[in-house]
Amino acid sequence: MVANAALRRAGPVVLLGLALLFGALSTGYAWIVARHLRDDARHTSRMLGLVFAGLNDPDPDAAAGALLALASQVRALGVPIAVTDTVGRVTAMDNSPLPPGADSAAVARWIAGLDEVNAPILQPGVGIIHYGAPPMAGRLTALAVIQGAILLSLVVIAAWAVRWWIAAARDRLWVAMARESAHQLGTPLMSLTGWIDYLREHPEGGVGTDELVRHLEADAERLERVARRFERIGRPARREAVGLGAVAERVVAYFRPRLPTLASPVQLTLYASGPGPDARGDPVLIEWALEAVVKNAIDALKGRGGRVDVRVEPAGARARISVQDDGPGIAPEVRARLFEPGVTTKAGGWGIGLALARRIVEDQHDGRLRHAGGSGGTTFVIELPLTRTSGGQPRISGEHASPFPRPPSPK
Residues with Cβ < 8 Å from 189, sequence gap 6 or more? 219, 223
pLDDT of residue 177: 64
- Domain check: are 254 and 368 in the same one? yes
Q: Is 406 helix (H, G, I), strand (E, B) or coil?
A: coil
214, part of any domain: no
Residues with Cβ < 8 Å from 334, sequence gap 6 or more? 343, 345
- The strand pair at 368-371 and 378-385 is best described as antiparallel
What is the share, in percent, of the chain residues with pLDDT greater than 90?
12
pLDDT exceeds cutoff 80 at 287: yes
- Of 15-24, 284-293, 302-311, 402-411, least confident by mean pLDDT is 402-411
Q: In which element (H, E) is residue 320 found?
A: strand 318-325
**Furthest C-alpha separation in the chain:** 137
The number of C-alpha atoms within 13 Å of 379 and in the hemisphere containing its C-beta is 14
276, part of any domain: yes
pTM given for the model: 0.52
CATH at 352: 3.30.565.10
Average pLDDT, integer, range 129-155? 77
Nearest residue to 295 via CA among 353, 221, 349, 247: 353
106, part of any domain: yes
Which position has the higher pLDDT, 166 or 246? 246
258, part of any domain: yes
Which position has the higher pLDDT, 215 or 346? 215
Write the CA distances from 126 to 120, 176, 263, integer angstroms: 13, 83, 106
Based on DSSP, count helices (H) and strands (E) in the chain, helices before strands.
Answer: 9, 11
- Of 128-137, 354-363, 378-387, least confident by mean pLDDT is 128-137
114, part of any domain: yes
CA distance 318 to 361: 13
pLDDT of residue 398: 43
Average pLDDT, integer, range 210-232? 74
pLDDT exceeds cutoff 80 at 270: yes
What is the share, in percent, of the chain residues with pLDDT greater than 70?
67
Looking at this protein, which amino acid is placed at residue 58?
Answer: P
pLDDT of residue 404: 38
pLDDT of residue 333: 75
Q: What is the mean pLDDT of the chain?
A: 75
pLDDT of residue 167: 74
Domain boundary among 138, 170, 200: 138
- Domain check: are 254 and 372 in the same one? yes
pLDDT of residue 93: 80
* Res. 320 pLDDT band, cuts 50 70 90: very high
* Res. 54 pLDDT band, cuts 50 70 90: low
pLDDT exceeds cutoff 90 at 87: no
pLDDT of residue 193: 79
CA distance 320 to 279: 10
pLDDT of residue 176: 63
pLDDT of residue 164: 77
CA distance 53 to 349: 86
- Domain check: are 8 and 118 in the same one? yes
pLDDT of residue 269: 94
pLDDT of residue 271: 94
151, part of any domain: no
pLDDT exceeds cutoff 60 at 332: yes
51, part of any domain: yes
Write the CA distances from 329 to 131, 270, 303, 342, integer angstroms: 74, 21, 14, 19
- Domain check: are 129 and 255 in the same one? no
Phi–psi pair at 285, nearest 5 degrees: -70, -40
- Domain check: are 257 and 369 in the same one? yes
Which position has the higher pLDDT, 168 or 393? 168
Domain boundary among 121, 138, 155: 138
- Count of domains observed in the chain: 2
* Res. 349 pLDDT band, cuts 50 70 90: low
Give residue 108's domain range. Answer: 2-138
pLDDT tens-digit profile of 386-403?
886 434 455 555 433 333
323, part of any domain: yes
Domain boundary among 86, 115, 138: 138
